Amino acid sequence: MFSYSSRTASGAFFRRIFVCQACIRQSRRQQQLSAIDSGLLFHRRLLQTSTSTENIVPFRKQLKDEAKRKRLEGGSRPSKKGAKGRDPRLEKWELTVGIEIHAELNTARKLFSSAATSSSEVPNTHVALFDVAFPGTQPHFQKETLIPALRAAIALNCEIQPKSSFDRKHYFYQDQPAGYQITQYYEPFAKDGHITLYDHDGIDPEDGESITIGIKQIQMEQDTAKTVQQPPSTYLLDFNRVSHPLIEIITLPHIHHASTAAACVRKIQSILKSVNAVTAGMEIGGLRADVNVSVRERQRLPETRQGKSYYGVTGLGQRTEIKNLSSFKAVEDSIIAERDRQINVLEAGGVIKGETRGWTLGSVETRKLRGKEGEIDYRYMPDPDLGPVIIGEDIIQHLRGALPMLPDDIANKLVQSPEYGLTMKDAKTLVALDDGDRLEYYLEIVEILRKELSGNAQFLEKIGKVVNNWVLHELGGLFAAAERDWSHAAVPPEKLASVILHLIHRRITGRAAKLLLSTIFYGDPRSVKQIIEDENMTLRPMSREEYLSFARELLDENPDMVNAIKEKRQHGKVMWFVGQMVRRGDEGRVEAEKVEQILREL
């Protein structure tokens, strides 16, 4: 299945570093660890639980803090957009974007050593001698790291290359102990893929119902060390992360809108997670994106126009690269800011310089980091210590056949299958949330209820939508209000299924069902049946006459609302009356569906 050859060091150079004796002993112990075969298995949850979340600020909180800061400062800078929200200058200028995504592979061992990939331990404890470029050490390619990389490439429709090789990319920086990074430049393991985005993925409306973005190549490479700054001038290095196996996914410059670029990164992350190729997404640093941005005049779009070219795409403007974007919002906002900056420069008669730029969440413009390096600056050369990697067709076919359903396929099934019947929006949300845990929870409850209601066709047709509402909205709302991370243990599937079952059989009201769910969510250990009995939640139906009397009384109290519904046709306000009757009625008596029916009659 695999063939791997190794060559002795020839012409290699080392940068001498000093490692304390304790680190050396620890590294030798790490090198002596036996290979863990579980790195090839689908142990996503196990690896996720070991991922450090210490000192991580949730992205939602970052956005809230940024919005608060802007309000205190009196708002952001004035917009140049026209009345319809579109910058009129975009009629003249076209944006072009290419993306490079770096994703950390889901493996137990590092790319070229047997040190563990866990970064949740004490700094500098998961480090082999080779990882820190100790003189005389050589890389040993860990074959199992190729498995998740191949799953990713297959899922992104790439052609797997039977032969690939490793190269050295030279640059000197504090987080690169050897003075070069081992990557795949001349012969990557995967090429010529593509990904299709749809309107429900969040692409720009101008892209229509779908857009296909080419993927130039996917290559394997090693990660750098983690730099921890201690102001004003101290930098600490944690080498636990160095040599973690990464894949770099390079798209073609087929993207012309910032929102489509963000949707592309979002969808690639979703695909990588669904095939268990990566350990984590952008939210905790397991995936990072660099974007290449350029603009060009639309009047120069014919094929005869002058400009730069890239892998068959011609007529491009001078690009700049924005590095290390760590959220989907950062991808979109930084592209817009850089697009506007480049347009300003060009319209002022200036020239865009090829350079590397940075972005900070909440900024209004990108900032220059350094001049843009070219291929000559990196002095690429084949790594003399690593031979080629030969991938057999048998392993490719095996992985292709064992690949799980992709997010698009799952969402389409949830929408098109009559047993679920969800909207595309709800289906996409279920698939995307909590690395698939929310979807598994939903499917388990649907299965429980289908067994309980077998033979009752009237209810079976509605089960998928009903369960979706309770999982996404009711239970999801409780997690959001409590600011807690998702966990199926908070309300076990069988308990939520029991709550829904009591509601379907009209043993409790909808309001009682919500109170029941909240009671269980906040830790009540009693069974659903016991809580209903103890708290007197059993439904005691009202008669039609009682509903009519109650409704007329409420309508008489609010003549203006009645007039708005009857005269101004504001029918949405009927639900306000429904809410009022449910809240005012005795617990366990008022059913919202019957209330709405009576109110619409009146």
Greater pLDDT, 333 or 54: 333
Phi, psi of 95, deg, nearest 5: -85, 140
Q: What pLDDT score was predicted for residue 602?
A: 79
Q: What pLDDT score was predicted for residue 65?
A: 59
Choice among 195-199, 216-220, 285-289 with the minimum mean pLDDT: 285-289
Q: Is 64 helix (H, G, I), strand (E, B) or coil?
A: helix
Which residue, 39, 123, 23, 147, is CA-closest to 402? 147
And the tokens for 29?
């112990």
Residue 43 has pLDDT above 80, yes or no: no
pTM: 0.74
Integer-rounded Cα Rg, in Å, for the chain is 29
Average pLDDT (76-105) is 76
For residue 197, the cross-strand partners are: 211
β-bridge pairing 355-358 and 320-325: parallel
Residue 332 has pLDDT above 70, yes or no: yes
Distances (CA, A) of 255 to 119, 276, 336: 34, 27, 13
d(CA 339, CA 390): 42
Asked whether 497 and 454 are in contact (CB, 8 A), the reply is no
Condensed to tens digits (0 to 9), the pLDDT of residues 270-301 reads: 999 999 999 877 877 789 999 999 999 987 65
Exposed, middle or buried, 303 (CB in 10 Å: 0-12/13-18/19+)? exposed
- Would you list the DSSP string of 404-418? PPPHHHHHHHHHH-T
pLDDT above 90: percentage of residues in the chain: 57
Give one word for 332, left, alpha or beta, with left for phi > 0 and alpha for psi -120 to 50: alpha
Greater pLDDT, 68 or 366: 366
Condensed to tens digits (0 to 9), the pLDDT of residues 402-439 reads: 999 999 999 999 999 988 999 999 999 999 888 788 99
Condensed to tens digits (0 to 9), the pLDDT of residues 137-194 reads: 999 999 999 999 999 999 999 999 999 999 999 988 888 999 999 999 999 999 999 9
Q: What pLDDT score was predicted for residue 284?
A: 75
Q: What pLDDT score was predicted for residue 347?
A: 94
Question: Which contiguous run of DSSP H or E holds residue 493?
Answer: helix 493-504
Q: What pLDDT score was predicted for residue 216?
A: 97
Which residue, 263, 120, 126, 150, is CA-closest to 205? 263
Which residue, 591, 577, 593, is CA-closest to 511? 591
Sheet with 2-4, strands from edge to edge, namely 2-4, 389-391, 163-164
Choice among 124-128, 287-291, 360-364 with the minimum mean pLDDT: 360-364
Distances (CA, A) of 584 to 13, 305, 554: 80, 71, 10
d(CA 30, CA 243): 14
Average pLDDT (204-217) is 96
d(CA 526, CA 535): 11
Question: Which contiguous run of DSSP H or E holds residue 390?
Answer: strand 389-391
Secondary structure tally for the chain: helices H, strands E: 21, 19
d(CA 322, CA 309): 19
d(CA 299, CA 11): 52
Residue 490 has pLDDT above 80, yes or no: yes
CA neighbours closer than 13 Å in the CB half-sphere of residue 463: 27
**Residues for the chain: how many in total?**
602
**479-490 core/surface letters (b: 16 or more CB in 10 A; e: else):** beeeeeeeebeb
Peptide bond preceding 388: is omega within 30 degrees of 0, i.e. cis? Answer: no
Asked whether 393 and 257 are in contact (CB, 8 A), the reply is no
Residue 36 has pLDDT above 60, yes or no: no
Exposed, middle or buried, 138 (CB in 10 Å: 0-12/13-18/19+)? middle
pLDDT above 70: percentage of residues in the chain: 82
Residue 84 has pLDDT above 80, yes or no: no
Average pLDDT (488-511) is 91
Which residue, 202, 198, 252, 244, is CA-closest to 220? 244
Average pLDDT (488-498) is 94
Asked whether 309 and 315 are in contact (CB, 8 A), the reply is yes
Residue given tokens 């799952």 in the structure block? 410
Q: Is 503 helix (H, G, I), strand (E, B) or coil?
A: helix
In this structure, the number of other CB atoms found within 10 A of the CB of residue 306 comes to: 8
Choice among 90-99, 152-161, 509-518, 580-589 with the minimum mean pLDDT: 580-589
Residue given tokens 């043993």 in the structure block? 507
pLDDT band at 66 (very low <50, low <70, confident <90, very high): low
pLDDT band at 13 (very low <50, low <70, confident <90, very high): very low
In this structure, which amino acid lies at residue 395? I
Asked whether 363 and 315 are in contact (CB, 8 A), the reply is no
Asked whether 512 and 537 are in contact (CB, 8 A), the reply is yes
Contacts 24+ apart (CB under 8 A), 414-423: 414/464, 417/464, 418/461, 419/446, 419/450, 419/460, 419/463, 419/464, 420/446, 420/464, 420/465, 420/468, 421/461, 421/464, 421/465, 422/464, 422/465, 422/468
Distances (CA, A) of 193 to 32, 160, 366: 38, 10, 30
Residue 49 has pLDDT above 50, yes or no: no
Give one word for 569, left, alpha or beta, with left for phi > 0 and alpha for psi -120 to 50: left
Greater pLDDT, 315 or 114: 114
Choice among 7-21, 127-141, 350-364, 383-397 with the minimum mean pLDDT: 7-21
Residue given tokens 């509605």 in the structure block? 462
Q: Where are the beta strands (DSSP E) in 205-319?
A: 210-222, 226-230, 234-238, 245-251, 287-297, 308-310, 313-316
And the tokens for 104?
């950390």
Condensed to tens digits (0 to 9), the pLDDT of residues 453-477 reads: 887 777 787 899 999 999 999 999 9
**pLDDT averaged over every residue in the chain:** 82
Which residue, 69, 116, 85, 76, is CA-closest to 239? 116
Residue 127 has pLDDT above 60, yes or no: yes
Residue 80 has pLDDT above 50, yes or no: no
Exposed, middle or buried, 457 (CB in 10 Å: 0-12/13-18/19+)? exposed
340 alpha carbon, distance to own chain's centre: 27
Q: What pLDDT score was predicted for residue 34?
A: 33
Exposed, middle or buried, 146 (CB in 10 Å: 0-12/13-18/19+)? buried
